Structures are given as C-alpha cells and as structure tokens.
Amino acid sequence: MSLKGKQNIFTVVHWDVNSRGIGTYGKYYKIYAYTTDEQGRLAENRSVVDNGAMNGMDGYQEGEASSFPYKTAGAVKSLFKCNETKCK
C-alpha cells in the first residue's frame, strides 16, 4: 500500500495475553509498516509504528472489555485510505 507516495508493507501481529490476576486477557495487537530507505533497504515506517492507534488489546484490560479495531489487513488498509482522503 502506498503512503505519502512510498510503497509500504504492513504486518499485523498479535500475542496471547493471560494476566487474569489483574483482569487482563485476550490478544495484544501491534501493526508494523516497512518501506525502503535511501539505499533501498527495508526500514520501519516510524510514523506508523509510533502511532498509538497501531497497538491495543482485544479482550479485557484490567477488567474492562477492550476491542482493537485493526485486526485484519483490510481494516488497516481502510484506516489509511480513509486518512488520506480525510473521511470519517
């Protein structure tokens, strides 16, 4: 997918979390994006990786239900396409 004129590769990863003692369990998601640097090497796209919306819990966090909206490639793609066109 292209962001700001540069091709990016996205990965959606998750880890199982089970800390029931504090009421936290489910899956922790993190979105990574990679592009190429000036030498053509693969490099993290820090503007995506450092965005707080690109990680979160899907399950329960400290006893509160929590839903992470970007669990699929389609959801991530929709988010960035929408941001480029300023839709809501």
**Predicted structure pTM score:** 0.84
Q: Where are the domains of the chain?
A: 2-85
Task: Report whether pLDDT(85) > 60.
Answer: no
Task: Report whether pLDDT(74) > 60.
Answer: yes
Task: Report whether pLDDT(67) > 90.
Answer: yes
DSSP states of 21-69 = GGTEEEEEEEEEEEEE-TTS-EEE-HHHHT-GGGEEEEEEETTEEE--S
**pLDDT tens-digit profile of 39-52?**
999 999 999 999 99
